[in-house]
Amino acid sequence: MPVTAKGLEGIVANSTRLSDVRGDVGQLIYAGYDINELAGKVSFCEVIYLLYNGRLPTLRELGQFEGKLRHLRELPKGVVDFLQAAPKDAVPMDVIRTAVSMLGLYDKGTPDESGLDKNQIMRRCLDVTAKIGVIAAYYHRARKGKSLPPVRSDLTEAEHFLYLLNGEVPAKEAAATLDMAFVLHADHGMNASTFSARVTIATLTDVYSAVTAAIATLKGPLHGGANEGVIAMLKEIGSEDNVIPWLEDQLGKKKKIMGMGHRVYKVLDPRAPLLRDVAQKMTEQLGEAKWLRMSEKIAGYMKEKKDLNANVDFYSATVYYSLGLPTDYFTPVFAISRTAGWTAHILEQLEDNRLYRPLSEYTGPEVGLTVTPVEQRQ
């Protein structure tokens, strides 16, 4: 008897050794490591290696892997031209989605993965992982009418992204903060965009198409956009004194408070306290404690009145804001990090591929209708 589950809720669509979200105990695991064990101890590059290979690299392996990624950063000229020609007021996620799709045009390999050439698939996964941050940063500079600095191979993923975005090598603390955010967002079970990537690659289309589908899915406000909403909310509230009256007003109108609650975590999202600690450090350094104090007040009130916990987006918003990232780049930063997870899932899907083809429950009219000639139809 087929099972019907709206939104596939509660359905196990496949198995994965990459990550596990344990919503009942508030645990996130990457390949056997609790996220609390990894955060602050490993770099984003080590996490990409972990997801691709199922284990952390040795020093030598890490050096080789970093070298490979860093030498793939340069974008094809056609993609750079597109980033410079794209409308200045476009949604960055739309531009990034289009540019990642364009990368496929400049790849001389076979047009799909039906030959299952492992070297080609891995090269494409590394290619898109190495280039997505460059695409995002270049578009920001292009829309501001600024020059595009040449890519460098002596900087980490986080350093390089901030360097391209701002035109100068970032302070160590800023790069370490972004690196930590990349680590925390790299993978998260069978979320919508990861599922999209797996469904797409399972047809044996190409890696660029699968990542393009994932970016398109992440763009939606039910998935990647909540952290931008958090900053909009903090700005609207404006002052610490206004936090409680504002929340009472919104909850009275049955409005959802951005950055609160989670579909899977019924206890605290384990990434939230890690980001709160980073946000605290950053605001102390920058002397801008107001946003964090307001955030803490919101979180305390929501816990007390609605028994709702802050999710990852609640504090990542404050962290990104303190880093000086443009608000409409919060979701692109998520996409840069999640490309690690998407491509690792693509590799895993292709190891033991099976086309996704669920059934649907037909709710149309009973069969037996007859066709009335078009000129006689009412």
Ligand X SMILES: CC(C)(COP(=O)(O)OP(=O)(O)OC[C@H]1O[C@@H](n2cnc3c(N)ncnc32)[C@H](O)[C@@H]1OP(=O)(O)O)[C@@H](O)C(=O)NCCC(=O)NCCS
Let me know if 223 is a catalytic residue.
yes
Residue 223: DSSP 8-state: T
CB of 276 to ligand X, least distance (A): 15
Pairing of strands 33-34, 27-30: antiparallel
Q: Is 308 helix (H, G, I), strand (E, B) or coil?
A: coil
Nearest to 45 by CA among 22, 66, 20, 71: 66
Give the interface with ligand X as residue ranges (CB under 6 A): 226, 256-263, 306, 308, 311-313
The residue type at 3: V
For ligand X, the closer CB: 213 or 226? 226
Structure tokens at 179: 């690196």
Q: Which residue is nearest to ligand X (CB)?
A: 261
CA distances from 305 to 16, 245, 251, 302 (A): 37, 13, 10, 5
Burial degree of 368 (CB within 10 A; 0-12, 13-18, 19+):
exposed
CB of 246 to ligand X, least distance (A): 13
CB of 223 to ligand X, least distance (A): 8
For ligand X, the closer CB: 18 or 257? 257
Cα–Cα dist 191/194, whole Å? 5
For ligand X, the closer CB: 138 or 314? 314
Q: Which of 107, 223, 277, 328 is catalytic?
A: 223
Structure tokens at 298: 């919101």
For ligand X, the closer CB: 174 or 336? 336
Cα–Cα dist 295/279, whole Å? 10
Q: Which of 262, 269, 328, 345 is catalytic?
A: 262
For ligand X, the closer CB: 43 or 311? 311
CB of 28 to ligand X, least distance (A): 12
Burial degree of 172 (CB within 10 A; 0-12, 13-18, 19+):
exposed
CB of 229 to ligand X, least distance (A): 7
Contact residues for 194 (Cβ-Cβ < 8 A; gap 6+): 187, 188, 214, 338, 341, 342, 345
CB of 216 to ligand X, least distance (A): 18
Q: From the centroid of its chain, how far is CA 302?
A: 26
Cα–Cα dist 211/142, whole Å? 23
Q: Which of 179, 269, 313, 345 is catalytic?
A: 313
For ligand X, the closer CB: 146 or 306? 306
Cα–Cα dist 137/131, whole Å? 10
Tell me the catalytic residues: 223, 262, 313
